[in-house]
Amino acid sequence: MLAISFQHIILLMIILIPVLLGVGYIIYSIVKHTIKQAILDSREEKNQRK
């Protein structure tokens, strides 16, 4: 029934890889920013306790 040819798979890869890389980069930057913010917040709390 399903006639998935090699060309279809290549086409899907060409379309999906940049999309996945883009999504992955966005998630990575958000996570990095969140972690950086959390570290800064914890440092500020420690400085305020002194």
Task: List pLDDT tens digits, range 1-50.
Answer: 567 788 899 999 999 999 999 999 999 999 999 999 999 999 988 888 76
Q: What sign has the CA pseudo-torsion 27, 29, 33, 38?
A: positive
Q: State the pLDDT at residue 14.
A: 95
Residue ranges making up the domain that contains 50:
20-50
Q: Residue 17's closest CA among 7, 25, 5?
A: 25
Q: State the pLDDT at residue 30.
A: 98
Tell whether 7 is covered by a domain. Answer: no
Tell whether 40 is covered by a domain. Answer: yes
Tell whether 28 is covered by a domain. Answer: yes
Q: State the pLDDT at residue 50.
A: 63
The total number of structural domains in the chain stands at 1
pTM over 0.75: no
Tell whether 46 is covered by a domain. Answer: yes
C-alpha 26/C-alpha 20 separation (Å) is: 10
Q: State the pLDDT at residue 2.
A: 66
Tell whether 36 is covered by a domain. Answer: yes
